[in-house]
Amino acid sequence: AQTVTQSQPEMSVQEAETVTLSCTYDTSESDYYLFWYKQPPSRQMILVIRQEAYKQQNATENRFSVNFQKAAKSFSLKISDSQLGDAAMYFCAYRSAVTKAAGNKLTFGGGTRVLVKP
């Protein structure tokens, strides 16, 4: 079974600064997808960024970028130019690419709370 670990329960960042969230995962599969989700205090989970394991190029979405290290099974999220609206819980998630067997199941880490100081 796959596991996802987020070792930082909470991270604090000054507005306009950069913060990096860590995520490691354990899997025996070679093809899979990785995601970062944001859950603001209003609770609705929003997809921030995604990465396919077979792509070496790191994904980028505006101020959000990832550092995907497949051999190390590491998938960190960098938030640049942090804004007050970035304050939320951030979850790293794994999904197998073996669609029929695993369906759409997401395996989540325990989350990292991001605090943004004005």
Partner 1 sequence: DAGVTQSPTHLIKTRGQQVTLRCSPISGHKSVSWYQQVLGQGPQFIFQYYEKEERGRGNFPDRFSARQFPNYSSELNVNALLLGDSALYLCASSRLGTSFGEQYFGPGTRLTVT
Binding interface with partner 1 (CB under 8 A): 4, 6, 33, 37, 42-47, 50, 52, 91, 93, 95, 99, 102-111
- How far apart are CB 68 and partner 1 at their closest, in Å? 14
**Please, are residues 118 and 16 in contact by the beta-carbon 8 Å criterion?**
no
Between 13 and 106, whose beta carbon lies closer to partner 1?
106
Rounded Cα distance between 83 and 17, Å, is: 9
Nearest one of 35, 3, 4, 31 to 101, comparing CA atoms: 31
Least distance between partner 1 and beta carbon 81 (Å)? 25
In whole angstroms, how close is the CB of 23 to partner 1 at the nearest point?
11
Residue (41 or 118) nearer to partner 1, CB: 41
Residue 91 CB neighbour total at 10 angstroms: 22
Minimum distance between the CB of residue 16 and partner 1, rounded to whole angstroms? Answer: 29
- In sequence order, the 6+-apart residues with CB closer than 8 A to the CB of 86 are 38, 79, 114, 116
Looking at beta carbons only, is 1 or 84 nearer to partner 1? 1
Angle at 71 between CA 25 and CA 7, to 5 degrees: 30
Measured from the CB atom, is 64 or 80 closer to partner 1? 64
